[in-house]
Amino acid sequence: MEQIKQPVPKEHHIREECGVFGVFSRATSDVASLAYYGLFALQHRGQESAGIAVNDDGVFTAYCDEGLVNEVFPKERIKQLGTGNIVVGHVRYATTGSDRKRNAQPIIINHHKGRMALAHNGNLTNSYELRNRLEQSGSIFHTTTDSEVIAYIIVQERLRTPSIEEAVYAAMGRIEGAYSLVISSPTKLIAARDPHGFRPLCMGQTPDGKTVFALRGVDLCIEKGTFVVVLGHNGSGKSTLAKTFNGVLLPAGGRVYVEGMDTCDPNLLLAIRQRVGMVFQNPDNQIVANVVEEDVAFAPENLGVPSEEIRKRVDDALAAVGMSEFVRHAPHLLSGGQKQRIAIAGVLAMEPACIVLDEATAMLDPVGRREVLGTIHRLNREKGITVVLITHHMNEAEEADRVVVMDDGQVAMDGTPQEVFTRVEELRAMGLTVPDTVDLLDRLQKDGFNVPLTALTVEQCADTIVQAMRGN
């Protein structure tokens, strides 16, 4: 008899989109600071809460709270975590409810074979079933996450296996779904992901065993006034690359130059950030004031720009993004697309030569996406501002001057949209899609139609198909 699964109530749906980070050092050191910078680089994967657990020879010191990484972990908090040789870190997106602090990670579990710290990204398809079984056997849950389910399953297996590695392996046979895990036992750091590799998990090591490289051998030159789109799957290195452009992240090897200025030179950092403005995924995390004009004025005020000049910059920036009529509005009353345009205006008020948008359209609806894309294309076209757009939406690359595809921390492709998107099978092998128009033409080509794959817009695609049908 076929078993019919009852639908899971909406309030019980659990989905997690997070970032995990772990470091194993052969010697006791300030691993908490390494975790801080690792989580900072992963901030785009989780902006609800952050947490770090330091393991010093089996003694765990942990702290988690709501907020961005730099808010949760000021320098004093990092010092309080102390030194150790293993660290696990986590950033989390809002998921299922209001108990946001309670659901912060890493999760610390105590059992008679030792302690364990676990950070998890992903979601389980059998979480609800496993949780019911665990509760019936006496487990008491303190969160509403899949992560605690995984932790209890690993502990169950650890109590009947000789090692933590075997326990994790056995647990992976019981949990189903897409996930990546970083786990610290008293003496070991273990990283694992689902058998299908749906969730990103990148691992690397320097000769001293401390640093993980997200980018390897990247050699790019972004020409002034161009519109460049950077594509890649989660974990490919595209957001890490973006953060090197204005010194949010500094290269562990090699150099990044902005108009001849080295981002590793602390004396040049302010000048670099005035030339390269960053717009992030969630505009709420960039908007700091209660009135639109005050928010746009925030950066120039902190740069010491005279009041008269600030007024002009605010007016010009709001006009450039089409938001002049909202000058006295409260940002929290605006739509997602409008908020993102305000965030762009705040960057424009610094008069940058380049704007880098890191997944800036990911959280927007189609209308908001069109608003933001229209704005940045107009700024590029009319004001000559260099634009670097990090995105996973293939269609956003159709009108770019150049497309760069990242894979495994390296540049896999670099060319015009037409040059890149004709390499359909290579893109699919990297886990990427192609624009809908190219996908349609590729299917027609495989069915025997003589159609090129260079038509990117709907109009171009329609013309190509009509011509092919006439030719047949």
Whether the per-residue pLDDT at 283 is higher than 90: the answer is no
- Burial group, residue 81, by CB count within 10 angstroms (0-12, 13-18, 19+): buried
Residue 431 binned pLDDT confidence (cut-offs 50, 70, 90): confident
Whether the per-residue pLDDT at 114 is higher than 50: the answer is yes
Q: Please report the pLDDT score of residue 369 as a whole number.
A: 82
Tokens matching residue 440: 């349609």
Whether the per-residue pLDDT at 318 is higher than 60: the answer is yes
Question: E-assigned strands of 185-239?
Answer: 189-193, 227-231
Section 258-273 average pLDDT: 89
Residue 216 binned pLDDT confidence (cut-offs 50, 70, 90): low
Section 448-456 average pLDDT: 87
Tokens matching residue 380: 């590029």
Whether the per-residue pLDDT at 309 is higher than 60: the answer is yes
- Lowest model confidence (mean pLDDT) among 189-198, 278-287, 295-304, 453-462: 189-198
- Burial group, residue 36, by CB count within 10 angstroms (0-12, 13-18, 19+): buried
Whether the per-residue pLDDT at 1 is higher than 90: the answer is no
Q: Please report the pLDDT score of residue 87 as a whole number.
A: 92
Q: Please report the pLDDT score of residue 356 as a whole number.
A: 92
Whether the per-residue pLDDT at 3 is higher than 50: the answer is no
The better pLDDT of the pair 363, 137 is held by: 137
pLDDT tens, residue by residue, 341-360: 898 999 999 889 999 998 88
The better pLDDT of the pair 38, 119 is held by: 119
Tell me the C-alpha distance between 121 and 26, whole Å.
Answer: 26
Whether the per-residue pLDDT at 416 is higher than 50: the answer is yes
Q: Please report the pLDDT score of residue 100 as a whole number.
A: 67
Q: Please report the pLDDT score of residue 16 as a whole number.
A: 42
Tell me the C-alpha distance between 448 and 430, whole Å.
Answer: 26
CA distances in angstroms from 334 to 5, 237, 271, 299, 331, listed in the order given: 41, 32, 32, 21, 5
Percent of the chain with pLDDT over 90: 29
Whether the per-residue pLDDT at 200 is higher than 90: the answer is no
pLDDT tens, residue by residue, 325-345: 999 999 989 988 899 889 899
Phi-psi region of 219 (alpha: psi -120 to 50; beta: other; left: phi over 0): beta
Tell me the C-alpha distance between 91 and 49, whole Å.
Answer: 6
Tell me the C-alpha distance between 459 and 85, whole Å.
Answer: 58
Q: Find how far residue 119's CA is from the centre of its chain.
A: 16
User: Cα dihedral angle (400, 406, 411, 414), rounded to 10 degrees?
Assistant: -20
Contacts of 50 (CB under 8 A, 6+ apart): 39, 64, 65, 67, 68, 69, 71, 72, 73, 89, 90, 91, 92, 104
Section 428-437 average pLDDT: 87
- The structure's pTM equals 0.57
Question: What average pLDDT does the chain have?
Answer: 84
Q: How far apart are the first and last CA of the chain?
A: 52
| Alpha helix positions (H), 349-416 | 366-383
Q: Could you give the domains of the chain?
A: 10-193 (3.60.20.10), 227-419 (3.40.50.300), 435-471 (no CATH)
Q: Please report the pLDDT score of residue 10 as a whole number.
A: 38
Tokens matching residue 66: 């709501």
Residue 470 binned pLDDT confidence (cut-offs 50, 70, 90): confident
Residue-wise DSSP of 128-194: HHHHHHHHHTT---SSSSHHHHHHHHHHHHHTTSSSHHHHHHHHHTT--EEEEEEEE-SS-EEEEE-
- Lowest model confidence (mean pLDDT) among 9-18, 282-291, 299-308: 9-18
The torsion angles phi and psi of 233, rounded to 5 degrees, stand at -75, 170
Q: Please report the pLDDT score of residue 43 as a whole number.
A: 78
Whether the per-residue pLDDT at 389 is higher than 90: the answer is yes
Residue-wise DSSP of 401-444: SEEEEEETTEEEEEE-HHHHHT-HHHHHHTT----HHHHHHHHH
Contact 353, 276 (CB under 8 A): yes
Section 241-265 average pLDDT: 84
